Amino acid sequence: MAETSTTTVGQSYGRLEGHAKVTGRADYIYNLRLPSMLHAKIHRSPIGHGRINSIDVSAAAAMPGVHMVVTGEDVKTVLPEPYYGPAFHDQPILALDKVRHFGEPVAAVLAADPHIAERAARLIVVDYEELPAVYDEIEALDSEAIVHEELKPAGTFADLKHLSGRRDTNVALDFHLRLGDADKAFAEAVHVFEHTFRTQQTMHTPFEPIVAIADVTHDRAIIHSSTQSPSFVRYELSRLLGWPESNVRVRTGHLGGGFGAKVYVKVEALALALSMLAHRPVRVAQTMEEQFYTITKHPSTFRIRSAVDDDGRIVGRKCEVWWNGGAYADIGPRVTQKSGFTAAGPYDIENIDIDSFALYTNRPPAGALRGFGIPQLVWAYESHTDIIARELGIDPIVFRKRNILRDGRPQAVGTIVKDGEFEPVLDETARRLGWDRPYDKGEGAKRRGRGVAIGFKASISPTTSSAIVSVNADGSVIVYCSTVDMGQGSDTAMAQIAAEVLDIPLDRIRVVNPDTDVTPYDMSTLGSRSTFHMGHAVRLAAADAKEKLVAMAEEVGMPEGSNAPLPELFIKKFGMRAGTIVGTANFKPDYAPTDPETGLSPNATPFWMIGATGAEVEVDTETGQFTILRMINVCDVGKPINPAVVETQLSGAAVMQLGFTTTERMILENGQLTNPSLADYKVPGIFDMPVIMENGMIEAEQHNGPFGAKGAGESGTFGVSPAIANAIEDAVGVRIAEMPITAEAIFRALRAKDGAPLEED
């Protein structure tokens, strides 16, 4: 699309729902109550893996005020095949026969008073036969503990059609990519480097916890949910019910954060089953604690090897990545595949082998979390890349630039890069850091260092977004789309796009909250796909409406190009203020599937997301404690629809990744999660912020984007973790290879370097 001047697009309007948010009136589903509604409280597994011998619900059922107690067997009476999941139908609504992770839902208590339901849920007694369990992704490869005896591929999504799983193993998916001849490159290489990096299990902790209310009557299921995926939830529940999708209505409000925790089915299927059994509306509202048992971010192990020539060119890279998907696959297979093909980093390397494995373990399930696996990969490849540069005595920026991907070159997956601002992003990061200036590295116990890292991500493809734009007789406009605004500002962006196309002021546009009875299909709000995909759908639907308005003007005899106000046009046509003009559009970008043998595709993604971080740290060598003096996040953001909102996305993403880098970690002991609360799982607070934080946006036209825009909600996460690790090495000469980076880990590394390792206890 040619660059055109815009008036509404490109402006930093405040969020449309700002007034509602500062007055406490925003419509979160967590606030919703329905007449005659029951509250559900869940009894959960206290072990990691076990066979259920019996469930005794008698004491709970006998408690005054308890309406009903429900087990997995009860669910089967209304939903005979009660398994769900976007990749595999592997997750039971309530445990059947087996529990596969600590915190798995086993039974539910319904009561009008949530306090009573909660107390009764504690009275349920379950007899388990404990089974051998596996918690580590490497051990899961050849463990005797098998999490799933049988796997049922879902076959829902075009990009996951090939899934089968491997019987009698814990491998849900393995993805392989072969480019060039990596073995030959390694055999001939002057330098070969090998490192292994690990990441920990973390959780999204959206502050509005996961919630759904189901209200089912004989041929109608209405689900009010804090979902990021209303269309998928409708699809999946209609499949479970065997009903047409038109009988299932899924609606949402504004979300109090999502970050990937609320994609696909979370508690909606349980709420559905409970409402069917109770014949009443049922609310399943998680607590913060329960979210930790529901969905998490993959722990990972990444062994990366590089072959480098004497000029500092990376000539070959071999990547083996093991993703710890927990007990249910959720969308882990897509993480394995989509992230898999970028595992070699944003570098122009001729010979690449990638092997990426999604593994089942007995941890709480892992799925998508802001970046879809990319931050785990960047942690490894940018730490590795930095180590190589240092060992070869090449400046880390120079080394990266010598190898960086550029437009017109194929990325590892075989897709030619277009509109990927890799080098400008790196240059801007270096410029803001003042990389060329001498740096005071401190003295005594306080040592300073700086580091950079750059990562990238492909958009999820192929996916579809649909939109409706209707023009009222007074000239005001309503946008119907199923993109969920969970804080990223999508409502505002979609309104700006419609306003731009129709040339009307923003305050005459309303964006309807997703409601599958009303708003058309959208694949899901995830992976930074909405601005691009739904942005196009809204743009095209608005253009469709505009064409109809032009035709109507012609029909009523208004001169071509006349700027008569819309109300006049409607009155001329309908004799009064009446009628509606409706524009519609479906949008799906081109895509070529990856070859099952080589993993290659000439068109794997419609656009690339690129983000870099520069960090300056100060390390207290007496304690290992470190302060981030400066954190600079620079991203390729395309042409932003709303620059101010995009900037808060960059900065917020970086802050979130800072938590995953330094403070956040789910701790399992004997399979039991010991810290499922904000008291012991520490998300960053205001005193954990870098002393100085800067955001830089490389604004560059995305040729095929709506008004040149592209997604940017995750890009700010990419570089954070390795940039900090690289800065720490620069400061004190130790390398941290496992996240999170803690003061104790640094202290121990310092002591080991000094030949006086600290005892282990």
Catalytic residues: 714
Are the C-beta atoms of 266 and 295 separated by less than 8 Å? yes
Figure out which of the listed residues 17, 90, 137, 729 binds other proteins, where binding follows CB under 8 A.
17
Figure out which of the listed residues 72, 475, 652, 706 binds other proteins, where binding follows CB under 8 A.
652
Is 112 an interacting residue with respect to other proteins (CB under 8 A)?
A: no
Strand partners, 708: none
Are the C-beta atoms of 637 and 712 separated by less than 8 Å? yes
Q: Tell me which residues in 113-152 interact with other proteins (CB under 8 A).
A: 115, 119, 122
The minimum distance between CB 643 and other proteins, in angstroms, equals 11
Is 581 an interacting residue with respect to other proteins (CB under 8 A)?
A: no
Is 753 an interacting residue with respect to other proteins (CB under 8 A)?
A: no
The minimum distance between CB 191 and other proteins, in angstroms, equals 36
Which is nearer to other proteins, 576 or 686 (by Cβ)? 686
The phi, psi pair for 599, rounded to 5°, reads 75, 10
Which is nearer to other proteins, 467 or 666 (by Cβ)? 666
Q: Can you give the length of the chain in residues? A: 761
Which is nearer to other proteins, 144 or 759 (by Cβ)? 759
Figure out which of the listed residues 225, 415, 488, 726 binds other proteins, where binding follows CB under 8 A.
488
Are the C-beta atoms of 359 and 332 separated by less than 8 Å? no
Figure out which of the listed residues 11, 663, 672, 704 binds other proteins, where binding follows CB under 8 A.
663
Strand partners, 336: none
The minimum distance between CB 287 and other proteins, in angstroms, equals 6
Indicate the DSSP class of residue 474: T
Is 77 an interacting residue with respect to other proteins (CB under 8 A)?
A: no
472 vs 56, 98, 390, 582, CA distance in Å? 58, 55, 63, 9
The site string for other proteins over 721-750 (x = CB under 8 A, - otherwise) reads ---------------------xxx--xx--
The minimum distance between CB 179 and other proteins, in angstroms, equals 36
Q: How far apart are CA 93 and CA 107, in angstroms?
A: 10
Is 696 an interacting residue with respect to other proteins (CB under 8 A)?
A: no
The site for other proteins, by CB under 8 A, has a size of 75
Which is nearer to other proteins, 239 or 432 (by Cβ)? 432
Q: How far apart are CA 735 and CA 234, in angstroms?
A: 47
The site string for other proteins over 491-530 (x = CB under 8 A, - otherwise) reads ----------------------------------------
> Could you tell me the two tokens for 494?
């979609």
Is 683 an interacting residue with respect to other proteins (CB under 8 A)?
A: yes
Which is nearer to other proteins, 208 or 330 (by Cβ)? 208
Which is nearer to other proteins, 6 or 287 (by Cβ)? 287
Stretch that binds other proteins, among 163-171, 427-435, 671-679, 725-733 (CB under 8 A): 671-679
Which is nearer to other proteins, 590 or 744 (by Cβ)? 744
The minimum distance between CB 40 and other proteins, in angstroms, equals 17
Q: Tell me which residues in 194-213 interact with other proteins (CB under 8 A).
A: 205-209
State the first-to-last Cα distance of the chain, in angstroms, to the nearest integer: 62
Question: In terms of DSSP H, where are the helices of 216-304?
Answer: 230-241, 268-278, 288-291
The minimum distance between CB 655 and other proteins, in angstroms, equals 3
Q: How far apart are CA 498 and CA 481, in angstroms?
A: 12
Residue 225: which residues within 8 A CB-CB, separation 6 or more? 29, 211, 212, 213, 233, 250, 251, 252, 267, 268, 271
Are the C-beta atoms of 222 and 214 separated by less than 8 Å? yes
Query: What DSSP letter does each residue of 647-658 carry, written as one string?
Result: HHHHHHHHHHHH
Which is nearer to other proteins, 26 or 509 (by Cβ)? 26
Is 164 an interacting residue with respect to other proteins (CB under 8 A)?
A: no
Is 36 an interacting residue with respect to other proteins (CB under 8 A)?
A: no
Q: Tell me which residues in 227-246 interact with other proteins (CB under 8 A).
A: none
Are the C-beta atoms of 227 and 524 separated by less than 8 Å? no
Strand partners, 583: 469
Is 330 an interacting residue with respect to other proteins (CB under 8 A)?
A: no
Is 655 an interacting residue with respect to other proteins (CB under 8 A)?
A: yes
Figure out which of the listed residues 7, 31, 77, 246 binds other proteins, where binding follows CB under 8 A.
31
Q: Tell me which residues in 284-313 interact with other proteins (CB under 8 A).
A: 287-289
Is 187 an interacting residue with respect to other proteins (CB under 8 A)?
A: no
Is 759 an interacting residue with respect to other proteins (CB under 8 A)?
A: yes
Q: How far apart are CA 416 and CA 645, in angstroms?
A: 30
Question: Listing from the earlier edge strand, what are the strands of the sheet with 125-130?
Answer: 98-99, 50-56, 125-130
Identify the helix (H) or strand (E) that includes residue 447: strand 446-458
The site string for other proteins over 527-546 (x = CB under 8 A, - otherwise) reads --------------------
Which is nearer to other proteins, 77 or 623 (by Cβ)? 623
Q: How far apart are CA 79 and CA 92, in angstroms?
A: 11
> Could you tell me the two tokens for 705?
């984007």
89 vs 86, 631, 700, CA distance in Å? 7, 42, 41
Figure out which of the listed residues 9, 10, 16, 26 binds other proteins, where binding follows CB under 8 A.
26
Is 565 an interacting residue with respect to other proteins (CB under 8 A)?
A: no
Nearest of 307, 339, 567 to residue 457 by alpha carbon: 339
Is 645 an interacting residue with respect to other proteins (CB under 8 A)?
A: yes
Which is nearer to other proteins, 17 or 544 (by Cβ)? 17
The minimum distance between CB 230 and other proteins, in angstroms, equals 17
What value, to the nearest 5°, has the Cα angle with vertex 575 and ends 571 and 579?
65
Is 623 an interacting residue with respect to other proteins (CB under 8 A)?
A: yes
Assign 3-state DSSP to the chain and report helix, strand, coil percentages, each to 5: 30, 25, 45
- Three-class HEC string of 494-509: HHHHHHHHHCCCHHHE
